[in-house]
Chains A and B, each alone.
Chain A
Amino acid sequence: MKLIQKNLEQLRHLERRKYHPLQHKLHKKHNITRKTLFYIKEYGFHSNVIKVIVQESLGILLISGLLNALGGLAVESVKTTLISVLPLLIMLPALNAMLGASAAIVSSRYSTLLHEGRIHGHPFLNRELSNLFSQTLIISLIMVFITSLISVAVSHDHTFLIAYKILAIGVIDVLIMMIVIFIFTLSAGLYYFRKKEDPNNFLIPITTSIADFGNVVILSVLVVLFF
């Protein structure tokens, strides 16, 4: 135990950007995952924590910000309807959060399955993935029902027609977005994995941004169609 601690301390003192044989030695000898060793070296004594985090996150966050601003443009275009039909405004952040969470769940589960070598043949035909798809879809539809119900109740906009339209918009939005999220995640994940890169690092930020952007755009189109 003392030897491992001593070796890990040595690792923390290494230059961040240089690969050191100690990493390989520790991985083989003590069966410590490469990711753990990477973390210890990444935030070791020679690294500037702020610089590392800002540098590695900024690019993807800027793309995400741009996508969201474009999505915001779609929301702004239906502002009058959103403000006059309050359940829509109440439902918007809930749908965004739910679809974002779905994208994150699907991405992380798929990355794990790829790493574990449990995807044989085409991912669209995999039993575990189709089970995950049905589970997330059913849960999302239940959540849409709960969200619509609460949104209508909270806003005191109790007419049957409004409630029906809100539910229909939510269901159509979720159905389209879940299919988009799955197709995109499965294709992009496989692409990164075949390039010998960790899909974890790319899939979650990209899929959540696409889920957020797609949700507000589809929601805006549906609002125009229904109201």
Chain B
Amino acid sequence: MGFIDKNFKEIFSSQLISVIGGIIAGSLLALYTNKLELLPGMLIILPGLLDLRGDIGGSFVSRITSGLFLGVIKPGQLNTKIIRGNIAASIILTLFLSFFLGVLATLFTYILFHVWYVSLMMLALVAGLVANVLEIPITLFTTYFLFKRGNDPNNIMGPLVTAVGDIVSIIGLAIALTFI
């Protein structure tokens, strides 16, 4: 077994997708440096928001893929108990955890800078919700598409969810910053 084997190639391609997504997200973030500079506590939310999308989106895709392989979910079907339940659970988890992140960021900002910046809670909530609304259809339809084509979504969707999650999180944050 050589060093550059099938595993090496698979890990390399998945890492490349994650890194490209991360660089796009980072470049989008760099466009908002003036806002980051002005608002205290913004960077406290950031790692959590990026990780949240990967965690919730990753489990979402994994459950859908298992259901597709088991035949419990039919590709293309949207209005089923499992799909509706998965989408609703993902929205509930996003709302709850974004708010939790916002509360933590507000508390930490108060402890560190003695600034009571309550808008951070709203910012995290709106950013998380926007990111979720953008991510769910992308991941769901891509999973269906890959499955219909005969690919195993498990092998492709993991890094793709991370990459898409990073980008939509920054877009969500940018939209939230514009309105709040």
Interface band, chain B:
35 or more
Of residues 21 to 49 in B, which have CB atoms within 8 Å of A's CB atoms? 21-23, 25-27, 29-30, 33, 36-37, 40-48
| CB-based contact A50/B26 at 8 Å | no
| CB-based contact B18/A154 at 8 Å | no
The verdict on A212 contacting chain B, using a C-beta distance below 8 Å, is yes
Q: How far is the CA of A208 from the CA of B48 in the complex (A)?
A: 12
Interface band, chain A:
35 or more
Q: Known contacts A58-B93, A72-B44, A208-B55; decide if A105 and B23 are in contact (CB<8 Å).
A: no
Of residues 14 to 66 in A, which have CB atoms within 8 Å of B's CB atoms? 36, 39-40, 43, 48-50, 53-54, 57-58, 61-62, 64-66
* Shortest beta-carbon distance from B25 to chain A in Å: 4
Q: Known contacts A97-B22, A97-B166, A212-B47; decide if A54 and B92 are in contact (CB<8 Å).
A: yes
The verdict on A216 contacting chain B, using a C-beta distance below 8 Å, is yes
Q: Known contacts A105-B11, A146-B19; decide if A71 and B47 are in contact (CB<8 Å).
A: yes
Question: Closest residue of chain A to B154, judged by CB?
Answer: A108
| CB-based contact B54/A208 at 8 Å | yes
Q: How far is the CA of A48 from the CA of B159 in the complex (A)?
A: 29
| CB-based contact A72/B26 at 8 Å | no
* Shortest beta-carbon distance from A1 to chain B in Å: 12
* Shortest beta-carbon distance from B40 to chain A in Å: 8
| CB 8 Å contact bits of B127-151 with A (1 = contact, 0 = none) | 0000000000000000000000000
Q: What secondary structure prevails in chain B residues at the interface with A?
A: helix
| CB-based contact A39/B66 at 8 Å | yes
Other-chain residue from A64, A83, A208 in contact with B33 (beta carbon distance below 8 A): A83
Give every chain B residue within 8 A of A89 (Cβ-Cβ): 26, 29-30, 33
Of the candidates A53, A71, A102, the one having the most CB atoms from chain B within 10 angstroms of its own CB is A53
* Shortest beta-carbon distance from B11 to chain A in Å: 5
Q: How far is the CA of A65 from the CA of B107 in the complex (A)?
A: 14
Question: Closest residue of chain A to B1, judged by CB?
Answer: A131
| CB-based contact B85/A49 at 8 Å | yes
* Shortest beta-carbon distance from A128 to chain B in Å: 9
* Shortest beta-carbon distance from B73 to chain A in Å: 9
Q: Known contacts A43-B82, A93-B166; decide if A61 and B52 are in contact (CB<8 Å).
A: yes
Give every chain B residue within 8 A of A213 (Cβ-Cβ): 47
| CB 8 Å contact bits of B57-76 with A (1 = contact, 0 = none) | 01100010011001010000
Of the candidates B55, B85, B112, the one having the most CB atoms from chain A within 10 angstroms of its own CB is B55
The verdict on A126 contacting chain B, using a C-beta distance below 8 Å, is no
| CB-based contact B43/A79 at 8 Å | yes
Other-chain residue from A50, A79, A102 in contact with B92 (beta carbon distance below 8 A): A50
Stretch of A116-124, A132-140, A188-196 lying at the B interface: A132-140
Q: Known contacts A135-B11, A212-B47; decide if A79 and B36 are in contact (CB<8 Å).
A: yes
The verdict on B50 contacting chain A, using a C-beta distance below 8 Å, is yes
Which residues does A use to contact B, with CB under 8 Å?
36, 39-40, 43, 48-50, 53-54, 57-58, 61-62, 64-66, 68-69, 71-73, 75-76, 79, 82-83, 86, 89-98, 100-102, 104-105, 131-132, 134-136, 139-140, 142-143, 146-147, 150-151, 154-155, 205, 208-209, 212-213, 216
20 inter-chain pairs at a CB distance below 8 angstroms, sorted by A residue, are A40-B72, A49-B82, A49-B88, A53-B63, A64-B55, A65-B52, A65-B104, A69-B105, A76-B44, A79-B36, A79-B43, A83-B36, A90-B23, A93-B166, A94-B22, A97-B163, A98-B15, A100-B51, A101-B159, A151-B26
